[in-house]
């Protein structure tokens, strides 16, 4: 069964006759299209991909399982290809803009436009082996970058921004399309910010250095964090929290099983940090799904109520962040298998001194 057919079979259950997909990651998942402007109508006897003249040739090369309509000026030129009777048109409430919703109601007056929950998200959670292999290759690039940059960090001579630039340069050099998010490089107390932005601040000797980065490869993303010590004499408090974070991560990876909820997997790691007395310094979730987007379903968090199925790719990234001192995060990319998780990330997790 094609991916579009899977959505078509859900139309009755969501109470619509026709569904309009507007979210580009979902359109790529359903059709293979990788451009920046597209719409996809799915009906019981209809699959209509719509884009603009910039993507005429590209859509004919990439789009699968749908007829193609290229408009010249306006999306609603495609009206001629849609049913000529009154229908309920579903649109994804999570992704549609107010302006497009208004335009749909104005230009498709005979349709009843209905907001519905994204019907594609659940299909994207469980990856095929082909998807997993593409994510694995994306992570291999990330691992290769980490190994390479450990050789070039120069305390006293390089800023956080310099190192972020070196990381992102290597992404394309090693075959990636682009970063999957803004690269994080944070040193010293700045590493206590989980989403720290690289600064024009020199990386000093004898301090912690946190790096969080990933890339897109053939449309699929990777995500990894490693925290290292710059120098030869790591602070003992840093060593302590590093080992706690490492134990929390390893416990979660060893004990996670298919059928556990995201909340249950999160609890494995969180309990290690709480038992060590640092619970208040671990404020974010343990992980998130990764695929066509670097943050997608499921939630591996205290609010994650759904069971994690085999084929789900997600991160395991506990952390401890102490204001005024610094932070430690260790993040792997894993895939749930029938007997537990397979770790896709190959970069070492022992405390590295550079």
Write down the CATH superfamily of domain 3-124: Creatinase/prolidase N-terminal domain (3.40.350.10)
CA distance 291 to 195: 20
Question: Is residue 2 over pLDDT 80?
Answer: yes
- The model carries a pTM of 0.96
* pLDDT, tens digit, 9 for 90 and up, residues 159-169: 999 999 999 99
At residue 258, the pLDDT reads: 98
pLDDT in tens, 77-114: 999 999 989 999 999 999 999 999 999 999 999 999 99
pLDDT in tens, 125-140: 999 999 999 999 999 9
Q: CATH second-level architecture of 126-343?
A: Alpha-Beta Complex (3.90)
Cα 117 → chain centroid? 20
Strands (E), 176-286: 178-179, 184-187, 207-213, 215-217, 220-221, 224-230
Domain spans of the chain, in order of start: 3-124, 126-343
Q: What is the mean pLDDT of the chain?
A: 97
What number is the average pLDDT over the span 325-349?
98
Summarize pLDDT for 156-211 with one digit per residue, the tens. 999 999 999 999 999 999 999 999 999 999 999 999 999 999 999 999 999 999 99
3-class DSSP assignment, residue 269: helix
Residue 75 pLDDT: 95
Question: What is the model's pLDDT at position 1?
Answer: 77
Of 216, 19, 204, the C-alpha closest to 120 is 19
Mean pLDDT calculated for residue range 6-24: 97
Among candidate residues 222, 233, 231, 272, the one with its CA nearest the CA of residue 249: 272
């Amino acid at each position: 069964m094609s991916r579009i057919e899977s959505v078509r079979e859900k139309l009755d259950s969501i109470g619509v006759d026709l569904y309009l997909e507007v979210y580009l990651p979902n359109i790529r998942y359903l059709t293979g299209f990788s451009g920046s402007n597209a719409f996809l109508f799915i009906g019981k006897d209809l699959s209509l991909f719509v884009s603009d003249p910039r993507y005429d040739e590209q859509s004919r090369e990439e789009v699968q399982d749908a007829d193609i309509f290229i408009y010249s000026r306006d999306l609603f030129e495609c009206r001629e290809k849609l049913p000529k009777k009154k229908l309920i048109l579903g649109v994804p409430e999570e992704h549609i803009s107010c302006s497009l919703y208004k335009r749909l109601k104005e230009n498709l007056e005979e349709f009843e436009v209905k907001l519905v929950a994204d019907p594609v998200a659940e299909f994207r959670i469980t990856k095929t082996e082909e998807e997993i292999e593409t994510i694995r290759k994306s992570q291999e690039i990330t691992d290769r970058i980490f190994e390479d940059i450990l050789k070039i960090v120069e305390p006293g001579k390089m800023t956080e921004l310099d190192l972020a630039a070196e990381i992102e340069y290597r992404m394309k050099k090693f075959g990636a399309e682009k970063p999957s998010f803004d690269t994080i490089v944070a040193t010293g107390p700045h590493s206590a910010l989980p989403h720290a932005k690289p600064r024009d601040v020199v990386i000093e000797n004898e301090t912690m250095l946190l790096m969080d980065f990933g890339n897109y490869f053939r449309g699929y993303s990777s995500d990894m964090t490693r925290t290292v010590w710059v120098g030869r004499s790591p602070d003992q408090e840093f060593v302590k929290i590093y080992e706690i974070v490492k134990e929390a991560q390893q416990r979660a990876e060893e004990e996670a099983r298919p059928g556990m909820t995201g909340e249950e997997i999160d609890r494995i790691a969180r309990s290690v940090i709480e038992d060590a007395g640092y619970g208040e310094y671990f404020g974010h979730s343990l992980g998130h799904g990764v695929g066509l987007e670097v943050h997608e379903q499921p939630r591996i968090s205290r609010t994650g109520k759904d069971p994690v199925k085999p084929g789900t790719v997600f991160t395991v990234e506990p952390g401890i962040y102490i204001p005024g001192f610094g932070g430690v995060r260790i993040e792997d990319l894993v895939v749930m298998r029938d007997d537990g998780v397979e770790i896709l990330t190959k970069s070492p997790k022992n405390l590295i001194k550079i």
